[in-house]
Amino acid sequence: MKKQHLNILTISAIMTTIGFIMDGDPKVPSVLLRFTEFFLMLGIVFLITSALYFGISKIARKFQKI
């Protein structure tokens, strides 16, 4: 795994954990459902963060060539 992907995954995990701690919804008694929600949110945050990061870096590289 590339270092950039690992860094984005770490940032996403931290953001997801903070979001779950700050969440004010009542907790679901099912542990399996909690893990499913956590990993799905981790995936969503990872995809959004990586799309923003790689999109911005690609645009920045194109502007540097000009």
Within 10 A of 8 (CB to CB), how many other CB atoms are there? 20
| In the chain, where the domains are located | 3-65
What is the distance between the alpha carbons of residues 37 and 63, in angstroms, rounded to a whole number?
39
> What confidence tier does 1 reach under pLDDT thresholds 50, 70, 90?
low
Q: What is the pLDDT of residues 9-58, one digit of tens each?
A: 999 999 999 998 898 778 778 889 989 999 999 999 999 999 999 999 99
Nearest alpha-carbon partner for 49 in 6, 7, 1, 12 = 12
The CA-based diameter of the chain, rounded to the nearest angstrom, is 56
Residues 50 and 9: beta-carbon distance below 8 Å: no
What is the distance between the alpha carbons of residues 46 and 1, in angstroms, rounded to a whole number?
14
pTM equals 0.83
